[in-house]
A and B are shown apart, each in its own frame.
Chain A
Amino acid sequence: MLHPLNQLLPPVTRFLWSQLCDVADPRADSGSRFRSEEIVAEASRQGVLGLLNAWTQSTPTFHLPSDVLKAHLGANAVRSLALVNEALKVSKLLEGDGLRHIFVKGPFLAQKYYGDFGIRDAGDLDVLVDELDVPRAVLLLRDAGYVRTKPVRDLTPRRWKLYLDTQHEFGFERRRLLIELHWRFADCRRLQSAMFPLLWERSRHVSIGAHSFRTLGAGDTFIHLAIHGALAGWSMLKWIADLGRVRKTFTAADEQLVSATMANPALSRVLELAHCLGPNDGSESRPWLEPVFRRIATNLINVASGEPSALNRLQSFVTSYRYQFHLVPGLRNRLAMLRSNLIMPADFDRSDLPDRLTPLLPLVAQVRRGIDKLLL
């Protein structure tokens, strides 16, 4: 049976999807009917140009325009080098204070699962620490000159507690590189699969150059990708490609971990979706998946639509909640998601709203206070 995305994706995207994500597509050809510029542009939008380049090395009949490719891959190489360099600094900083930390995704995933830390587009640096170590890690980063970008405002002690309880990251910036300090995989605590000590126990070393970094084990990486991808609407092919790549390295313990995690009702659909997006698993028909696949196809097509207007952002906010609710069934799970995403307006930017909506702000604040009262 054809994978549902076969029917929904436009030809060039489908071509990339089937070639780079190892998905059987009987209608896929060698790509020769597409202009190479068309494929490069789409691969670049989907964050898979490095993967496409590697694939073409083994497919000599398929040529990519070298100037465009070189410019993009060169920029990506410099970015990956900068990220690893920054990771080493962050690592030494945290290690110097005895803080255990795990690097997630980015160049570390690329090195571990593709053997080349620059093959995969990476935007920022994600580092996971124990929730108990977050205040210390925040101070260390600040004292080392990293500028906090999320939340921008200072937090009162009560807000600190709320923030740790309901959010999942602090954002920092240095020399235009973003460093995200995480203590869980997503805002919603129910989407957490395991506490830090367990993640640490299952974490693995990955070597880049002469240096060694800790990264999540394969099972935890898959779970993290499943959550991250689901929340982001699986809007880039690079995330879907990662699923298959990580899953190929699974040991029996990783399989067991993922199966056991599916017992968490907040995660069952999220993981089921990740399985169905991965290679050779899209053939089983599940009615709840149909609207989800339609949404994912729309997201993949819209990835290049550019900066949305404030109104579109609002619409997209509502739509993404509807979509996330679809993935996280059960009243308690949904309330937990609402709570984690709504009560913390610390990084809310009023300039996002068009003028005609600003009179609604007091009402929004009132609703938030009500939710605070109800849920905290």
Chain B
Amino acid sequence: MKFRRLTISREVLSQVVANEAVLLDMRTEKYFGLNPVGLRVWEMLQETSDLRAIRDRLLSEYHVAAEDLDRDLEALFDHLVAAGLAQEPVDGSP
């Protein structure tokens, strides 16, 4: 994966709605939606910035091939970073 660690931007607020999520980036005032799997990843990102740990937990939770999961996660993390919803932590932060 391109990123090893990611943290959620402190300027992003989230609301869970029926297994999905609505995110608001308060800097750009843009809204984003997450599907149930995206929400699960988002919840894990709130607990850890270690993307490998997130991948491993998802592998144990969902019946999915590792290659497919890696591809989907890569795409999701790229989207989150490109949209400014998550970022690579500066050295020293958890």
Contacts and interface: CB of A to CB of B under 8 A. Distances in A.
Q: Which of B11, B12, B15, B16 has most A Cβ within 10 Å?
A: B15
Contacts of A210: 10-11
Contacts of B15: 77-78, 80-81, 117-118
Contacts of A117: 15
A117 B22 CA distance: 13
A81 B16 CA distance: 11
B89 to A, nearest CB: 14
B22 A209 contact: no
B13 A81 contact: yes
A81 B24 contact: yes
B46 to A, nearest CB: 10
Contact of B10 (A66, A70, A82, A209): A209
Contacts of A118: 15, 17
A77 B26 CA distance: 15
Contacts of A271: none
A333 B22 CA distance: 47
B17 A85 contact: no
Interface in B1-41: 10-18, 22, 24, 26, 29, 31
Count class of interface residues, chain A: 10 to 19
Given A208-B13, A209-B10, A210-B10, A82 B22 contact: no
Contacts, number: 40
A208 B18 CA distance: 20
A85 B27 CA distance: 9
Interface residues of B, number: 14
Interface string A64-96: 001001100110011011101100100000000
Contacts of A82: 24
Interface string A322-359: 00000000000000000000000000000000000000
Given A209-B10, A209-B12, A209-B13, A81 B31 contact: yes
Contacts of A208: 13
A118 B15 CA distance: 7
Nearest to B13: A209
B13 A85 contact: yes
A85 B22 contact: no
Contact of A73 (B13, B14, B18, B26): B18
A111 B11 CA distance: 17
B31 to A, nearest CB: 6
B36 to A, nearest CB: 12
Interface string A97-133: 0000000000000000000011000000000000000
Contact of B17 (A73, A209, A211): A73
A69 B18 contact: yes
A337 B12 CA distance: 44
Contacts of B24: 81-82, 85
Q: Which of B17, B24, B29 has most A Cβ within 10 Å?
A: B17
B13 A84 contact: yes
A66 B13 contact: no
A275 B11 CA distance: 39
Contacts of B18: 66, 69-70, 73-74
A41 B12 CA distance: 32
A84 to B, nearest CB: 6
A52 B32 CA distance: 25
Given A70-B18, A209-B12, A209-B13, A78 B31 contact: yes
Nearest 4 A/B pairs, CB to CB = A210-B10, A77-B15, A81-B24, A118-B15
Interface of A: 66, 69-70, 73-74, 77-78, 80-82, 84-85, 88, 117-118, 208-211
Given A73-B18, A78-B31, A81-B13, 4 more contacts: A77-B22, A85-B29, A88-B26, A118-B15
29 contacts: A66-B18, A70-B17, A73-B17, A73-B18, A74-B17, A74-B18, A74-B22, A77-B15, A77-B16, A77-B17, A77-B22, A78-B15, A78-B22, A78-B31, A81-B13, A81-B15, A81-B22, A81-B31, A84-B13, A85-B13, A85-B24, A85-B26, A88-B26, A117-B15, A118-B15, A118-B17, A209-B13, A209-B14, A211-B10
